[in-house]
Amino acid sequence: MTTDPPEGLALPPPDPPRWPKVVGGLLALVVIGALIAVWALAPRRVLPEERLAPEVLTRVQRATVGVEARDAGTQGSGYVAAQDLIVTNAHVIAGGRDLWITFDSGTSSARTLKGTFVREGRPGEPDDLALIRVPTGQAPVLPLADLAQVPIGSILVSFGYPLGWDLSLDARGPEISVHGGRLTALRRLDGRVGWVESDLLVEIGNSGGPVVDETGAVVGLVTVIAGPNLRTALCASADQIRHFAPELSGSQP
């Protein structure tokens, strides 16, 4: 015998089957797992600066120095080009002669030594170069690259101190900044490369810092930021450095 429900009282609908929800949840998990697997297996974009072997990165960092002309009120970057010789830009020292060179800035081994002016070129020109004598100690020497062996599109890496000592957080000085990019053109002058053009991201303070290839050889020095968007970095070339200072180690290609 059945009992009819009271008039006006609706019975609850039967529970829907649960299997569609279970299947849907499993499918969602499968899709998420597949996306994670694809992301994990996809080749990661390698930044240009990551292409340098660790020993090359360390060597160039140790060879990069801070340069300060205290009487001119200017500062920038430079590198160890030969035993007891530093190369930087002429516009970094700006005619100053009270020159101070900082090695291993940002580390516990940081030291600043008095340098002696040797010669300088013309600021703003491809020979915007200066040579300074200072005891370099055990700092590694960077050779000059043979630009005939560095094709357009090659990876370049710049080392230096963007914004100079303003980024220093303590008495040890700022750590060296590293930026990667590519060689975009070689601009020739009088039968040799004048400017090495690149898309390196550089700032004031990077001037004079070495720009190297993947082997750690110096392709040029950061010198001028050009273009309406300031995204073209012109570097005084290795050819110009050879011509300016033939006494440097590795001056011959």
Every domain of the chain and the residues it spans? 52-244
Residue type at 40 in one-letter notation: A
The CA distance from 253 to 245, in Å, is 14
Domain 52-244 has CATH 2.40.10.120: yes
pLDDT, tens digit, 9 for 90 and up, residues 69-94: 999 999 999 999 999 999 999 999 99
Neighbouring residues of 166: CB distance < 8 A, sequence distance ≥ 6? 174, 205
Q: What is the pLDDT of residue 195?
A: 94
Closest CA to 246 of 101, 128, 131, 97: 131
Q: What is the pLDDT of residue 205?
A: 83
Stretch 1-21: mean pLDDT:
59
Q: Residues 51, 55, 59, CA angle at the centre, nearest 5°?
A: 105
Q: Are the CB atoms for 69 and 94 separated by under 8 Å?
A: yes
What average pLDDT is seen over the chain?
Answer: 84
- HSE-up of residue 96 (Cα within 13 Å, Cβ side): 21
On the question of pLDDT at 36 being above 70, the answer is no
Other beta carbons within 10 Å of 225: 18
Q: What is the pLDDT of residue 155?
A: 94
Lowest mean pLDDT among 15-24, 134-143, 171-180, 230-239: 15-24
Where residue 176 falls among pLDDT bands split at 50, 70, 90? Answer: confident
Other beta carbons within 10 Å of 123: 18
Stretch 22-29: mean pLDDT:
67
Where residue 191 falls among pLDDT bands split at 50, 70, 90? Answer: confident
Stretch 147-172: mean pLDDT:
82
Q: What is the pLDDT of residue 42?
A: 52
On the question of pLDDT at 121 being above 70, the answer is yes
Q: Which residue has the higher pLDDT, 105 or 128?
A: 128
Q: What is the pLDDT of residue 69?
A: 96
The CA distance from 140 to 57, in Å, is 12
The CA distance from 160 to 87, in Å, is 13
Q: Are the CB atoms for 208 and 80 separated by under 8 Å?
A: no
Closest CA to 238 of 188, 194, 178, 173: 194
- Kindly compute the dihedral angle of the four CA atoms of residues 100, 230, 126, 123, in this order, to the nearest 10 degrees: -50
Q: Are the CB atoms for 216 and 56 separated by under 8 Å?
A: yes
Where residue 47 falls among pLDDT bands split at 50, 70, 90? Answer: low
Q: Are the CB atoms for 86 and 249 separated by under 8 Å?
A: no
Q: Give me the helices (H) in 89-136, please.
A: 90-93
Q: What is the pLDDT of residue 40?
A: 55
> Model-level pTM?
0.78
**Residues above pLDDT 90, as percent of the chain:** 58
Q: Residues 82, 84, 85, CA angle at the centre, nearest 5°?
A: 55
Closest CA to 200 of 169, 177, 173, 217: 177
Tell whether the torsion through CA atoms of 17, 19, 23 and 25 is positive or negative. Answer: positive
